Amino acid sequence: MSFGETTSQLKISADHLRRQIEKVFIDENVRDSEVARRAYKFFGEDKIEIVTEAPLKNSEGELSPEQFDRSKRLLHITEFKGSFFKRCPGAKPGLTCCNYFVLNLGLQCNMNCSYCYLQSFINTPVMKIYSNIDKALAELDEIAAVPGAAQQKLRVGTGEVIDSLSLDPLTLYSVKLIEFFKKYPNWRVEFKTKSADVDQFLHTEHTGNVIVSWSINPQNIVETEEHGTASLQARLTAARKCLDKGYQIAFHLDPVIWHPGWESSYHTLVDEVTSQFTPAELPYISLGALRFQPEQRHIMRERFGMSHVMRGEMFSGKDGKLRYDQNLREDMFKRIMGWFHAHDPNWKIFLCMESPESWLSAVGSGPKNRNGLGELFDHNVVRTINNAEAASEL
- Residue 325 sits in the site that holds other proteins (CB under 8 A): yes
Give the nearest distance from C-beta 285 to other proteins in angstroms: 22
d(CA 259, CA 306): 12
Binding mask 36-75 for other proteins (x = CB under 8 A): -----------------------x-xxxxxxx--------
- Residue 100 sits in the site that holds other proteins (CB under 8 A): no
Residues binding other proteins: number (CB under 8 A): 29
User: 254 and 218 in contact (C-beta within 8 Å)?
Assistant: no
- Residue 106 sits in the site that holds other proteins (CB under 8 A): no
Give the nearest distance from C-beta 127 to other proteins in angstroms: 18
3-class DSSP assignment, residue 18? helix
- Binding test (CB under 8 A) with other proteins, winner from 34, 179, 272, 331: 331
Sign of the alpha-carbon torsion through 136, 138, 141, 142 = negative
Give the nearest distance from C-beta 302 to other proteins in angstroms: 5
Q: Is 382 exposed, middle or buried (0-12, 13-18, 19+ CB in 10 A)?
A: middle
Q: Which residues pair with 226 in a beta bridge?
A: 113
Q: Is 142 exposed, middle or buried (0-12, 13-18, 19+ CB in 10 A)?
A: exposed
d(CA 228, CA 78): 25
- Residue 316 sits in the site that holds other proteins (CB under 8 A): yes
Rank residues 16 and 334 by Cβ distance to other proteins and give the closer one: 334
- Residue 326 sits in the site that holds other proteins (CB under 8 A): yes
- First-last CA distance in the chain: 47
d(CA 167, CA 174): 10
Give the nearest distance from C-beta 252 to other proteins in angstroms: 21
- Residue 317 sits in the site that holds other proteins (CB under 8 A): yes
Which residues, 277 to 296, sit near other proteins by CB under 8 A?
A: 295
Which residues, 355 to 384, sit near other proteins by CB under 8 A?
A: none
Number of Cβ within 10 Å of residue 244's Cβ equals: 9
Residues within the interface to other proteins (CB under 8 A): 59, 61-67, 295, 298, 301-302, 305-306, 310-311, 313, 315-318, 323-329, 331
